[in-house]
């Protein structure tokens, strides 16, 4: 089906975009279009006005700055996938990018658009939650920084205002002993997650877990944080036993629904397993070293 | 502004000016305005990849993009394959591969598969099988079971490679393999009993960092 007719604007600066969003009636932002275009075609979205932000070159970046890894609103999944900086320093981002959709969609879809879409099956929201990430939005009252854990409300619903533009998503740059990872279970390559878990661990000088972050995909009404599991990890030394309990706590915190891909029980069990794997990778990448079990 | 706007598309090397409504999809502009019906539409959801074209060298799904967003872009569709230098005024080695290896049955997915294959070989002229499968993971085929599509793309890679060897690289595809490996994990062991040590564990007490992962076998993805 064709989408309903709409008016179409192509701002080239953030200022131009925000004043359009403020002055127009019920505008919809178009970024990569990989979620919005199908919604328009099914007429699940019927905006009168579409503001295409792809011409705002200043939003096309992925860089470290002021203690953050910053992704401008036009950073595409493929930009993350192809980045050496990401490969070297951000395990969870390097894990996630190639697992999002397929190559064609990764060439167009943006990380910020994916976060704005707030699909509970979207992968990036979980990664942001695990990293204590932030969403930077520009609106009529200027800039607003929204912590990821205050962003997601319901499926496809966030605390972002209708006249606000996400200009950037960001996470703190890694601590000296930090590691992160993302594990995703899907039916076939290119599919949305049946379940996914992102984990971030920061170790102190003594090798204990100083900070733990766990974000979960597709197992609740939004991307969700496994707070109990995080608290259980903090102050402890990484170990298989510890991660086993954390996995169980994450599974308990999850709230999956049965569907054609699997029952709720099965998905909870998968959260447990994926959390253990993500924590294991995160710990290893943080410099914790795997011990050979000989005895 | 729901009125038509004029855009310029360079498709298979030829510049076209077309008037399109903002809601016009790139795939409709290609098929209906330019009458290039080799690019197919197989779904409404962005899943099937039959509409794959190269936009400025990158594979995209032309049903997930408005025509206005391709204003000024260079588009390659399946109709342009025979005019590429590697085709040598005949079929492109990819097309030849699909013929030789029976890479199609009904043919509906083939234009998209060819474009996805082209994008892969441009970037990675000697792909492994899993890299080919990854490259066509956004393209569905309900007939072949994919085996012969993979073989077809392998055929093209070999053919291009053989020609590059005889031509001194004239038709060799561009280089630039994507690194598929994420993260830098290594199993490092210090050799000391009850201490992790390890090459990258310089200084500090790492005894507390020990943990085993043997209970977690296999990869889920
Ligand atoms: C077949 C298929 C498979 C997919 N598989 C996956 C998957 O496995 N994992 C996954 O995470 N995603 C998947 N996706 C979704 C994909 O990641 C999209 O790219 C993403 O959800 C939306 O990003 P976009 O840039 O395309 O945004 P758009 O589609 O342009 O926009 C999506 C929504 O966000 C809003 N928006 C976009 N940018 C901004 C901004 N800067 N500020 C404010 N609002 C904004 C739009 O108004 C719209 O409501 C898949 C999509 C398809 C079609
Ligand atoms: S027609 Fe474009 S993906 Fe199916
Ligand atoms: S050959 Fe029929 S869909 Fe692929």
Q: Which of B2, B44, B196 has its CB closest to that of A6?
A: B2
Contacts of B25 in chain A (CB under 8 A): 2, 37, 41
A184 and A237 in a single domain? The answer is yes
The answer as to whether B212 is a domain residue is no
Q: Give the model's pLDDT for residue B169.
A: 52
| Distance, CA of B25 to CA of B31 (rounded, Å) | 10
First-to-last CA distance in chain A? 64
Query: Which of residues B63, B78, B93 is at a domain's end?
Result: B78
- Sign for the CA dihedral angle at A255, A261, A265, A269 comes to negative
**Average pLDDT, integer, range A223-249:** 98
B95 and B176 in a single domain? The answer is yes
Q: Give the model's pLDDT for residue B164.
A: 85
- Tell if the CB–CB gap between A38 and B64 is shorter than 8 Å: yes
The answer as to whether A13 is a domain residue is no
pTM for this model (two decimals) = 0.90
B106 and B162 in a single domain? The answer is yes
A152 pLDDT above the threshold of 90: yes
- Tell if the CB–CB gap between B135 and A5 is shorter than 8 Å: no
Tell which one of B78, B138, B141 to mutate to probe ligand 3, the residue whose CB is within 8 A of the most ligand atoms: B141
The answer as to whether B48 is a domain residue is yes
The residues that bridge with B74 in the sheet, in sequence order, are B10
The residue whose C-alpha atom lies closest to atom 1 belonging to ligand 2 is: B41
- Tell if the CB–CB gap between A38 and B188 is shorter than 8 Å: no
The answer as to whether A8 is a domain residue is no
Contacts of B221 in chain A (CB under 8 A): 99, 183-186
Contacts of B198 in chain A (CB under 8 A): 289
Chain B residue closest in CA terms to A203: B209
Contacts of A6 in chain B (CB under 8 A): 2, 22-23
- Tell if the CB–CB gap between B189 and A5 is shorter than 8 Å: no
Closest CA to B155 of B76, B217, B93, B208: B93
B67 and B125 in a single domain? The answer is no
The answer as to whether B43 is a domain residue is yes
**Average pLDDT, integer, range A232-250:** 98
| Tokens of residue A239, six digits | 């170990």
Q: Which of B23, B116, B201 has its CB closest to that of A287?
A: B201
Q: Which ligand is nearest to the CA of B148?
A: 3
Largest CA distance in chain A: 71
Query: Residues B82, B94: contact at Cβ < 8 Å?
Result: no
Residue ranges in chain B modelled with pLDDT below 50: 1, 172-221
The answer as to whether A290 is a domain residue is no
Instruction: Say yes or no: A232 contacts chain B, CB-CB below 8 A.
Output: no
Closest CA to B122 of B55, B77, B173: B173
**Average pLDDT, integer, range A263-276:** 98
B68 and B98 in a single domain? The answer is no
Contacts of B69 in chain A (CB under 8 A): 33, 52, 54
Tell which one of B52, B106, B152 to mutate to probe ligand 3, the residue whose CB is within 8 A of the most ligand atoms: B106
The DSSP string of B185-221 is: ------SSTT----TT--SS--GGG-B--TT--S---
Min Cα distance A98 → chain B (Å) is 8
Q: What spacing in Å lies between the alpha carbon of B3 and ligand 1's midpoint?
A: 27
Decide: B104 in ligand 3 pocket, CB within 6 A.
yes
B71 and B153 in a single domain? The answer is no
A66 and A167 in a single domain? The answer is yes
B119 and B49 in a single domain? The answer is no
B69 and B21 in a single domain? The answer is yes
Domain limits for position A77: 59-172
A216 pLDDT above the threshold of 60: yes
Q: Give the model's pLDDT for residue A2.
A: 86
User: How many domains does one find in chain B?
Assistant: 2
A122 and A146 in a single domain? The answer is yes
Q: Give the model's pLDDT for residue B187.
A: 36
Q: Give the model's pLDDT for residue B127.
A: 98
Q: Give the model's pLDDT for residue B2.
A: 63
Q: Give the model's pLDDT for residue B218.
A: 37
Q: Give the model's pLDDT for residue B199.
A: 31
| Tokens of residue B64, six digits | 């997930």
H or E, element range at B82: none
A151 and A187 in a single domain? The answer is no
Query: Which of residues B78, B98, B118 is at a domain's end?
Result: B78
Q: Give the model's pLDDT for residue B193.
A: 36
Min Cα distance A206 → chain B (Å) is 6
Least confident of A71-80, A269-278, B2-11, B178-187: B178-187
Could you tell me the CATH number of the domain that includes residue A95?
3.30.465.10
H or E, element range at A128: helix A124-130
Which residues between 69 and 128 in chain A have a beta carbon less than 8 angstroms from any beta carbon of chain B?
Answer: 78, 81-82, 87-88, 91, 94-95, 98-99, 101-105, 107-108
């Amino acid at each position: 089906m064709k989408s309903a007719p709409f008016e179409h604007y192509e701002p080239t600066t953030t200022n131009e975009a925000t004043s359009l969003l403020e002055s127009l009636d019920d505008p919809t932002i178009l970024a990569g279009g990989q979620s919005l275009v199908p919604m328009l075609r099914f007429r699940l979205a019927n905006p009168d006005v579409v503001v295409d932000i792809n011409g705002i070159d200043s939003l096309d970046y992925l860089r470290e700055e002021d203690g953050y890894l910053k992704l401008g609103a036009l950073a595409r999944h493929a930009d993350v996938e192809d980045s050496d900086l990401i490969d070297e320093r951000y395990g969870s981002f390097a894990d996630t990018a190639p697992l999002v959709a397929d190559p064609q969609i990764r060439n167009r879809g943006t990380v910020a658009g994916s976060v704005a879409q707030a699909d509970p099956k979207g992968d990036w929201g979980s990664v942001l939650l695990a990293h204590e990430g932030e969403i930077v939005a520009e609106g009529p009252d200027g800039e607003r920084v929204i912590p990821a854990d205050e962003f997601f409300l319901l499926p496809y619903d966030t605390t972002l205002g209708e006249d606000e533009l996400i200009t950037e998503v960001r996470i703190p740059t890694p601590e000296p002993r930090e590691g992160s990872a993302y594990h995703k279970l899907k039916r076939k390559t290119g599919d949305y997650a049946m379940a996914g878990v992102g984990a971030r661990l920061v170790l102190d000088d003594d090798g204990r877990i100083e900070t733990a972050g766990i974000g979960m995909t597709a197992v609740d009404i939004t991307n969700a944080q496994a707070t109990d599991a995080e608290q259980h990890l903090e102050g402890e030394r990484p170990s298989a036993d510890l991660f086993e309990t954390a996995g169980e706590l994450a599974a308990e915190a999850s709230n999956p629904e049965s569907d054609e891909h699997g029952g709720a029980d099965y998905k909870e069990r998968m959260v447990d397993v994926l959390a253990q794997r993500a924590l294991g990778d995160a710990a290893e990448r943080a410099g914790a070293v795997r011990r050979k079990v000989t005895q | 502004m729901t009125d038509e706007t004029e855009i310029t598309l360079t498709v298979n090397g030829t510049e076209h000016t077309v008037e399109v409504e903002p809601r016009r999809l790139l795939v409709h502009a290609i098929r209906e305005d330019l009458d290039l019906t080799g690019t197919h539409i197989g779904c409404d959801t962005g899943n099937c990849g039959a509409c794959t074209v190269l936009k400025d060298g990158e594979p995209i799904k032309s049903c997930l993009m408005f025509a206005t967003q391709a204003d000024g872009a260079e588009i390659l569709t399946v109709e342009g394959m025979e005019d590429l230098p590697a085709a040598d005024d005949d079929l492109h080695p990819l097309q030849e591969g699909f013929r030789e290896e029976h890479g199609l049955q009904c043919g509906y997915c083939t234009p998209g598969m060819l474009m996805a294959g082209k994008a892969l070989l441009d970037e990675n002229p000697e792909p492994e099988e899993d890299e080919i499968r990854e490259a066509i993971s956004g393209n569905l085929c309900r007939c072949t079971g994919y085996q012969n599509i993979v073989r077809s793309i392998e055929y093209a890679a070999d053919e291009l490679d053989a020609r590059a060897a005889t031509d001194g690289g004239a038709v060799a595809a561009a280089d630039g393999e994507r690194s598929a490996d994420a993260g830098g994990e290594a199993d490092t062991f210090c050799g000391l009993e009850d201490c992790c040590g390890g090459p990258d564990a310089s200084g500090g007490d790492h005894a507390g960092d020990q943990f085993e992962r043997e209970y977690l076998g296999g990869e889920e993805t």
